[in-house]
Amino acid sequence: MASALLKIVKKIIKTGSLRLTLADGETFTLGDGSGDLVAARFADQEAEDAVGTDPTLKLGEMYMEGRFILEQGNIYDFLELVKKNTTDEIFDFKIAMRLLGRIAWQQIKSRSPINRNKHNVAHHYDLSAKLFDLFLDDDWQYSCAYFEPAGISLDEAQLAKKRHIAAKLLLEPGQSILEIGSGWGGMGMYLAESAEGTDFTGITLSEEQLKVSRGRAAKRGLTDRVRFELQDYRYMKGKKFDRIVSVGMFEHVGIGNYGKFFSKVSDLLADDGVMVLHFIGRPKPSFATNAFIEKYIFPGGYIPSVAETMPALEKAGLLVKDIEILPMHYAYTLRHWRERFVARKAEAVALYDEKFFRMWEFYLAGSEMGFRWEQLFIMQIQIAKNQFAVPDNRNYIAEREAKLKEFEATRAPLEKVTF
């Protein structure tokens, strides 16, 4: 008797080539035979049944545990084949009920007064520094790169990202800068060195990132004007900053906290100040995070739509001065990361184990698939309080980028991150 999973897969796969072997050993060839063959099998009946009733969570789990096995092609190939064929939603009552339950639970958690920010950040960013060294660029930029011009290397694209953001910040000598979510310090050091006499403060909730950032700043002799602190943005008081930047952090704020975030930005930004907010966006609200990502990778995270972001920003009295959408750049970035990570599988397994390696391979593959096929994008919003804080045209961006390239040509080379 055909399994419940097989019935769903047969409804989905119409084009491409999939060979699926069920737990009982029976093999089915699905699709129209076009493209490269993807061959997968289930190691046991429990794994097959689990994926059939809860695919958004259990497919990743079964892959992690080695119970959903790719015999030809890789996990990205399988996910892409499924997504290419999913033009219409395949309704299943049990799956729909699980989704509604997850939406309700995540909405409740996002509005909880209990502060789990540090716990959520530690879950991901306090992993071994050696893990991130396996796949990031030399400056450890763990956010979307900017592949402009097309075809440049990952390191060049991450430098282009920093340059592009710095140009939009309109940074001037002697100004004060705040970075909310300062990573491993690369953006902060770039900004501080690009404008003479600037005073930079970077805040993070990751103790590992804090340690690495402080060490890097000390090696470059920047500790007199580049400081990294273990600090929750919500509790900052007093000082106002001429410039604020936040890259890849807004996704961790949580849908119930956008008002608090932009209210705090308004408190911290000088009246003539400028902020650049760089984050992942989606074309319409989803109300909940992917179950696998929420459980294993980024607990408490949520990717907002434009419509979910703007009301809180406007209510805080802030002005949107520029919005730029980068539609495919994160897909390119994630492809680089995944290929570099897989190429160093033995080192990743030695750090943790096979299960951990497959968990991260699934995360990187699934994320890349999201940007290629689910219309996710990067959004950069330039924010101010005063309409005259930025020029009335965008020519200044290219002009400032040209100046920043001159700075980069004379900048001392970055030392490789050590841990």
For residue 245, give both structure tokens.
């930047």
CATH of the domain at 355: 3.40.50.150
One domain for residues 279 and 390: yes
Task: Name the E strands within 292-369.
Answer: 319-326
Task: Give the number of other Cβ atoms within 10 Å of residue 114's Cβ.
Answer: 7
Is 150 found in the same domain as 77? Answer: no
pLDDT at 90 over 70: no
DSSP lists the bridge partners of residue 39 as 19, 72
Token representation of residue 111:
């509005």
Regarding whether 330 and 226 lie in a shared domain, the answer is yes
Q: Prior bond to 149 cis, omega within 30?
A: yes
Q: Has residue 311 been placed in a domain?
A: yes
Three-point CA angle 139, 277, 165, nearest 5°: 50
Between CA 403 and CA 407 the distance in angstroms is 7
Is residue 230 a part of any domain in this protein? yes
CA distances from 393 to 93, 188, 321, 322, 402 (A): 52, 26, 10, 10, 17
One domain for residues 249 and 353: yes
DSSP secondary structure, 77-104, as one string:
HHHHHHHHH-SS----HHHHHHHHHHHH
Residue numbers of the domain that contains 264: 117-410
In this structure, is residue 415 part of a structural domain?
no
pLDDT in tens, 331-350: 999 999 999 999 999 999 99
Q: Could you read off the pLDDT of 282-312 as tens digits, one per residue?
A: 998 876 678 898 889 888 788 999 999 999 9
pLDDT in tens, 135-148: 999 999 999 999 99
Pair (364, 310) in one structural domain: yes
Tell me the backbone φ, ψ of residue 351, rounded to 5 degrees: -70, -40
Nearest CA to 379 out of 332, 314, 309, 319 is that of: 309
Are residues 133 and 219 part of one domain?
yes
In a domain, 102, yes or no: no
Q: Model confidence at 89, in pLDDT bands (50, 70, 90)?
A: low
Q: What is the CATH number of the domain that holds 46?
A: 3.30.1050
Residue 299: predicted pLDDT: 86
Same-domain status, 76 and 156: no
Residue 416 lies in a domain: no
Which one-letter DSSP state was computed for residue 295? I
Residue 108 inside a domain? The answer is no
Q: 29-84 pLDDT, tens per residue?
A: 999 999 999 999 999 999 999 998 888 899 999 999 999 999 999 999 999 999 98
pLDDT, tens digit, 9 for 90 and up, residues 212-232: 999 999 999 999 999 999 999
- Residue 399 makes CB contacts below 8 A (sequence gap 6+) with none
Domain count, the chain: 2
